[in-house]
Structures are given as structure tokens and as C-alpha cells.
Amino acid sequence: MKKIRDFINKADIKRFRFWLQLFFFVIFIYGGYFAINLGNSIPVFSCGYDREVGGMCYFLPLQHQLARPLDVLFSVASISVLIGFVTFLLWFIVFNKAWCGYACPLGTMQDWLTGLRKKLGIRYSTYTQPQFNKLKKIKYIMLAIVILSPIAVGMGLLGGEWRTAFCQICPGRMITPLFVGDVSQWSLDFSTKSAMILTSIGLVFTGLFVVGSFIKKRFFCFFCPMSAMHYIFSDAALLKLKKDGDKCTKCGDCYNVCDMQIKDIADDVESTNILRDDCIMCLKCVAACPEDDALHVDLVNYPIFKSTKGGFVKRMEIEELEKKND
């Protein structure tokens, strides 16, 4: 038992993550080729506009369901909306935000762009703290668009093209189908004014997405409404990222490796549940923490991955460095 635990704690989380991301990428983007269908309540951006999708992003069906006429929406007929939502929750509460860090195809693409940048030796960008605090609110605005715009369609306030307003401006709609050779989403729709505005915003966002995630790690996740939606329900999740403030030395390693620039991970020594709304639960911080047990990942209060001195030493290749120095 101890051996297994030691093995896990010393694991090369980076490699593990790379392969798991690739696995989920294939499942979600190419699932259709293998007749895999995980339904359409998946809590990641595996875009439904990809015709071979192996499990659809929950927002596409959610928006369609919310756009029903209000009297239907608030009637018994909408039990199906509830069922979809419960399925979403069931998927989500098992892995919490680890969906973002390990399964989201759009996140994986950003990680690959980051890898490319690293290969090219280009410096990455960061936000300053005030910028960070302002920008992080955008994802809640996006979530409001996801929910309110189809309801407004159902009320008859907006035209039908606002039904999936968020999908129209989401870069995932353009980029994801590219992987199965479908470029049909890369077009500007001139059929109505609002369709034109929405699709051009979407295409501009796609351009920004590519450049942004090239120079800023996980650029889009910062504005992702799914991330906001996750955070609302994250208290109920089974998988948790926890911190033992007493053991923290505030060395800042965790903050430095964090793709999402979450300061609390290093600064906050009060809260035990250290998951913040931007967190993608990539567990880089746990891997980078040099203190025994300061950070750990719990599944229903049972720690499955802990920060350890040994693991830190192994991952940093300190022993080899020392050997070299000798």
C-alpha cells in the first residue's frame, strides 16, 4: 500500500497529464469514428458542431432547451431539461474542475499551443493583479449570456439566431470541427444583422484565441463560462484540492507554476478548500510543492495525491543535478 502511494506521489504528473489529455481529446473529437457517444451533458467544451463528437458540450443542448417558449419551459414538459442538468451534475461532481485540466479538448489545444511556443523559445505573458481581478469577472458575463439569451428568445424578445448566442461567439465552434476536416463554421453569416454581428465576433474571438493562447497559458479558460458554471457547483464535488496552511511556507512555487495565475494558492493559508473559480485542477501546484502534505487532492476525503518532499526532489531532478555538480 505504501509502495503504491509512494509511486503515485512521485509520479511524473506532466507525462500522465499529457497522455490523459490526448486520450480524452481523441474520445471527444474523434469519438464518432469509434461509435463512442457519451451523451450531450459533458461539462467540457467538446463542441457539438464537430460531427464526430464523442460527447457533447452541455451548453449547446442547454441553450436549445432554455429557448423553449416560457410556458413550456416552466411546465412539466421541461423535466427533460432537469434530466440533462442532473446528468451534467453527475459527470461534473466526480472529477470537479479536473475536467478542465485533463479532459477539455479546447484546453488541450491551448496546452499544445503553449508547447509550441516553448519550442520556439518565445516568452509568455501574464496579467498584472489588478488586470486579473477585472478580467476574471468576464466569465460570469459569458455564463449570463449562455443562460439569458436563449430565455430571451423563448420570451420572444430576441430573434432565433440568438438561441445559441454563446456558441456563435465561442472559438470552440470554429476550431474543434477543424480536427475532423470540417471548415464549414469558418464563415460569416449575412442572413440577418444579428447573425452577422455574432459570427463576426466569433471569428474575431477565434483569431484572438489562437494568438492569445499562444503567448498566454490557458488564455481562454480565463473567460470560459463553463469554468464559472463549474465553480458554482464545485462545493458538491467529490474530488477536492485541499491545502494545509500550517505546512505552507509561502515559497510561491505553486503560484509560479500555475497556468491560471491564481495567487491564493500560495497566499491563502486559512482555507482548506483551495479551489478557486479560475482553477483548472491541473495539479501542477501539488507536483511543484516541496512540503510534505501541504497540498493534496482528496477523493471523498481520502487523499489520492499529495505533495511530498520525495516527489518534489524526483520531479525536479535534484539528485541528478547534485550528481552532476559532484
**Contact region with other proteins (CB under 8 A), list: 96-104, 105-113, 130-138, 249-257:** 249-257
> Smallest distance from the beta carbon of 1 to other proteins, in angstroms?
26
Nearest CA to 185 out of 198, 197, 203, 201 is that of 203
- Site for other proteins (CB under 8 A): which residue of 74, 141, 304, 320? 74
Considering the rule CB under 8 A, would residue 310 count as an interface residue with other proteins?
no
- Site for other proteins (CB under 8 A): which residue of 212, 225, 290, 311? 212
- Site for other proteins (CB under 8 A): which residue of 77, 86, 236, 304? 77
Contact between 165 and 99 (Cβ < 8 Å): no
The interface with other proteins within residues 15-44 (CB under 8 A) comprises 37, 39-40
Binding mask 122-161 vs other proteins (x if CB under 8 A, - otherwise)? Answer: -x-xx---------------------------xxxx----
Considering the rule CB under 8 A, would residue 208 count as an interface residue with other proteins?
yes
CA-atom Rg of the chain in angstroms: 21
**Contact region with other proteins (CB under 8 A), list: 71-79, 96-104, 267-275, 298-306:** 71-79
Q: Which is nearer to other proteins, 161 or 264 (CB)?
A: 161
**Contact region with other proteins (CB under 8 A), list: 188-196, 238-246, 268-276, 301-309:** 188-196
Residue type at position 216: K
CA distance 60 to 40: 8
Strand pairing partners for 298? 240, 303
Q: Which is nearer to other proteins, 2 or 175 (CB)?
A: 175
| CA 191 to chain CA centroid, nearest Å | 33
Considering the rule CB under 8 A, would residue 206 count as an interface residue with other proteins?
yes
Nearest CA to 259 out of 45, 91, 115 is that of 115
> Smallest distance from the beta carbon of 51 to other proteins, in angstroms?
9
CA distance 255 to 285: 7
> Smallest distance from the beta carbon of 203 to other proteins, in angstroms?
4
The backbone region for 127, taken as left when phi is positive above 0, alpha when psi lies in -120 to 50, beta otherwise, is beta
Contact between 216 and 124 (Cβ < 8 Å): yes
> Which residues lie below 8 Å from residue 150, measured CB to CB, with a gap of 6+?
62, 63, 64, 65, 66, 67, 162, 163, 164, 165
Binding mask 253-292 vs other proteins (x if CB under 8 A, - otherwise)? Answer: x--xx--------------------------x--xx----
SS3 240: strand
Contact between 293 and 282 (Cβ < 8 Å): no
> Smallest distance from the beta carbon of 257 to other proteins, in angstroms?
5
Contact between 304 and 317 (Cβ < 8 Å): no
Q: What is the DSSP letter of 195?
A: H
Q: Which is nearer to other proteins, 5 or 314 (CB)?
A: 314
Quick one: cell of 88? 451534467
> Smallest distance from the beta carbon of 60 to other proteins, in angstroms?
12
How many residues are recorded in the chain?
326
Give residues in contact with other proteins (CB under 8 A).
14, 37, 39-40, 69-77, 118, 123, 125-126, 154-157, 174, 183-184, 186-193, 199-200, 203-208, 210-212, 215, 253, 256-257, 284, 287-288, 315-316
